[in-house]
Structure 1
Amino acid sequence: MAEQKPCRKDLLHWINIVSFAVDDVKLFLDSHPCDQDALEFFEKYQKERNCALKEYAKYYGPLTIDTVNASATDRWNWINEPWPWQEGGC
């Protein structure tokens, strides 16, 4: 059975949600570094964000340098794909 490609817009929306959550809790942790609940929240959503970024890179190309595939066959191929702010739909 073929793997179904996720909707690009939905995946970008999820990345924005988890990225906001991670950034927001990082600011909170600056002034509350020992808050165990905040640390657990950060770890959970940081993992979610990394998974979402990897999934996006797998189907649509990398959004961050962390998800670039450095193999010779994939050398900078994302330049030929629609950019995240361009119309792409699902």
Structure 2
Amino acid sequence: MTGNENCASKKELLQSINQVSFAINDLLLFLDTHPHEKRALEYFSELSARRNELLKKYAELHGPLTVDTANDSCLRSWQWMEQPFPWEQEGGCR
């Protein structure tokens, strides 16, 4: 895998995380007013599981984005703090 492929996959993974997170936030607003809507609750469960999968995959490849995935990817050290955060990188990837 070349650096460009890794960069594209990192950007694509971040985009997927952002899309799923947006959908979850939107769905939560709906559930605030429709708390017993079965289809919405099922969809929330699906999206939450998908988001957790994406966050775990991102943490394994590029370091954690949330504290929830820090334990999975940083058992040896806190080196992930030494890398630039996604929003600090010019052009998205190095």
Q: TM-score under structure 1 normalisation?
A: 0.83
Q: Look up the match of 1:17.
A: 19
Shift of 1:83: 1.4
Take 1:89 and 1:7, find their aligned partners in 2: how far apart are those partners? 10
Q: Which runs of 5+ in 2 are unaligned?
A: 1-5
Q: Is the 8 A contact 1:57 1:68 kept in 2?
A: yes
Q: Deviating runs (4+, > 6 A) in structure 1? A: none
Take 1:58 and 1:82, find their aligned partners in 2: how far apart are those partners? 16
Q: Is the 8 A contact 1:25 1:38 kept in 2?
A: yes
Shift of 1:48: 0.5
Instruction: Judging by fraction of residues, say which structure has more helix.
Output: 2
1:89 equivalent in alignment to 2:93: yes
Q: Is the 8 A contact 1:7 1:89 kept in 2?
A: no
**Which structure exhibits the higher relative contact order, with contacts defined as CA atoms closer than 8 Å and separated by 6 or more residues?**
1
1:42 equivalent in alignment to 2:47: no
- Alpha-carbon RMSD across the aligned residues, in angstroms, is 1.9
- How many pairs align? 85
Take 2:62 and 2:79, find their aligned partners in 1: how far apart are those partners? 10
Q: Which runs of 5+ in 1 are unaligned?
A: none
Query: Percent identity at matched positions?
Result: 49
Shift of 1:43: 0.5
Q: Look up the match of 1:78.
A: 80
